[in-house]
Amino acid sequence: MTKLNWYYTRLAVSFLNHRGAKVRAAGVHFQDTLPLAAGPDPHISCKILFLEVSSCCQVPRSPCGSSRGEGSHGRRDELTPLFWFLPRHSSVKAEEAAGTAPFHLDLWFYFTLQNWVLDFGRPIAMLVFPLEWFPLNKPSVGDYFHMAYNIITPFLLLKLIERSPRTLPRSMIYVSIITFIMGASIHLVGDSVNHRLLFSGYQHHLSVRENPIMKNLKPETLIDSFELLYYYDEYLGHSMWYIPFFLILFMYFSGCFTPAKAKSSMPGAALLLVVPSGLYYWYLVTEGQIFILFIFTFFAMLALVLHQKRKRLFLDSNGLFLFYSFALTLLLVALWVAWLWNDPVLRKKYPGVIYVPEPWAFYTLHVSSRH
């Protein structure tokens, strides 16, 4: 046993000397030369290295609060120094593989609530509040809702990433959050002008050039400016807003797996939140015209679930909540498209194979026109 200890001691020291390692903690350093080459007593060599390592490294503690090995002082000298030194680097990965986060009821509730109030309720509030309170040449109440959304949503996404049991790539998270804020801010300006045009007779179910108020504009080059504004609102702003949004959700979803099948279930509160969450994502997909992005994300999630199932890993409560919300969204989008499949006016505005009408286009065509 002493020869084996001496062998592992020399192996650890040669590894540290090869890397030129010098551990700085509490003023204790690994020296480049230790008295091992001259064939010293193995017991002395093991104790020297053990004192150097244990004084610099934090020893994991057992559940009862004692350090590993403190309960059996007789066995402490028999443990090899390699056993004490290497687990410090592999323990994080082991915890990530076995860790399971509880259901984040607070974050998912706040996330769903602010989505409904600040995003879905934004254009509704703009129509409900009197125009005298928010003149057309000033930001509307919906614009202030949008500003709050641009601040609160990235904050909640960052808090959600912090609670992920898996370490996610920080650089990608930061770039995604920055792009999300920029895209949502571009959309804020374009959407504000487009919704203010409703008070001037603008009709969302028609294209920019086909709108009656645009046909009388002089010079006609002004129509190009409004088309540019529409492009910033519906295409560039939505792309820079929703692509990083779904990317962050997918990265979080990739860490929502557990080896314990018993933990692959949702509490009752999560089941209650699935319906409003899925209904909001239906609005997001249809109004934002991002069905391709959504269906790609959903099938990527489904493929990941099937792949992890082969490894005997199952979705935890947070992963199930996100997956069921997206599944409900897909069902609602299919019902929405089937309902409006034969609408001739909307068919003209949304030509092509992918036909997903916007709710606000349906509103201006079939609801507001009646009043």
Give backbone dihedrals phi and psi of 28, rounded to 5 degrees, phi first: -105, 135
**Reported confidence tier of residue 112, pLDDT bands at 50, 70, 90:** very high
Quick check: 64 pLDDT over 90?
no
Give backbone dihedrals phi and psi of 23, rounded to 5 degrees, phi first: -90, 125
**What pTM did the predictor assign?**
0.70
Yes or no: say if 58 and 24 are a contact pair by the CB < 8 Å rule.
Answer: no
Quick check: 292 pLDDT over 60?
yes
**Reported confidence tier of residue 127, pLDDT bands at 50, 70, 90:** confident
Looking at the chain, how many residues does it have? Answer: 371
- Which of 75 and 330 is assigned the larger pLDDT? 330
Q: Residue 12 corresponds to which tokens in the numbers above?
A: 């650890």
Instruction: Identify the residue whose tokens are 């009752």.
Output: 268
How many angstroms separate the CA atoms of 111 and 245, rounded? 13
